[in-house]
Each structure stands twice: as C-alpha cells, then as structure tokens.
Structure 1
C-alpha cells in the first residue's frame, strides 16, 4: 500500500514571521540612530567617548548572556514557550521607555554655554 505524500508547505505563517522580523530590524535601526543622536546631543564633548564605551559595553556585552539564558530557557520549558516569554519580555521592555520623559522630547537637548 502506498503512503500518502505529505505536502512540503508548512502550516505555520512563515510569511508573517518574516514580515515581523523585517519590521523588528527596521525598528532597531531607527531606534539606534535616534538613541545615538540624543546621546551625542545630551553628553558634553569631553565625556562622549566614555559614554559611548559604557553604552556599547552594556548593550553588546549582554548579548552572550541573553543567548545563554535563551538556551537554558528553551531547554527547560520548550521552544514555543521560550519564544513566547522572549516576546513578552520584549514588550515589557517598552514600559520604562513609555513612562519616561523621552516621550515629550521634541528637540534635542542643547547645552547652554555662558
């Protein structure tokens, strides 16, 4: 008896996932540009190097920790649950930003010189 052929198409909405990833990538790029602009405008010139170095240490230095945590979490609760937790954490990360004064910043901060 012949086995029925299975379709190669995935039942998951792969196109939606790809579109979401593209939007996330665009959002990251726009956010990085805005954050760098605000940081440069708000930081005195003699502290700019230290500020950028501290920012890069905190942002890029935590990537391996996130990878390790994601692997442990995925192993402990499963891939789908780990991705759902990561999505919820990503959304929760917006809460401090939405509650900050950055929302009312329409012009870059200008240092007054005397």
Structure 2
C-alpha cells in the first residue's frame, strides 16, 4: 500500500541557520538512505515556500488563478514522501523516523489508489 508522509512546517520559523540546515540535511539524508535500502522509498521532495504557490480554481467554466497557498494557515506542506509498505503500522514507523529527522510533524495518509 502507498502512503503519503507530508512534512508540515511553520514558515514563520524559517530560515534556519547554516549549522541547523547542515544538521537537518544530514539527518534527513540518513533516513532517506534507510528507506531506499529497505525498498520502501517511492518518491520524495522538498517544496519551495508557500508564497511561491499558485492556486487554480475552475467554477462555472471560468478559471481563476491566485498567488499564495491554498490554505491561509501558519503550518504549510514543506515537503513529502511517498512510500510503499504493507500497512499503516509500517507507515507510522517510518513517519516516526522522518519526524525525528525533520523535527517537525509528519502527516500520514494512505492513497486511495494509484493511477
């Protein structure tokens, strides 16, 4: 089964110092390597800040595009992983490692099918 692990960040706490970023990259890189070695890694990546987002809406046949994040909230999606594991317990075990490495909350959601 495929799971999304969303990395939730508070953009008001950014940017990190160079030392904090180096330490974070090392921790996250180690977990990424562990997931790849275990064969659960499908895809992952960081996202640019939410102010780089564009929201596209279509209503009554008209398209509207607005700058900024979809939701106006302090926490934003800062990155994500897609993993393939046997069950939710396995996904939660990996999310615990990611949360420890990233030092931010991780939202875990199962996919409702893969196209």
| TM beyond 0.5 | no
Higher-strand-fraction structure: 2
Q: What TM-score do the two structures reach when normalised by structure 1?
A: 0.29
Q: What TM-score do the two structures reach when normalised by structure 2?
A: 0.29
Higher-helix-fraction structure: 1
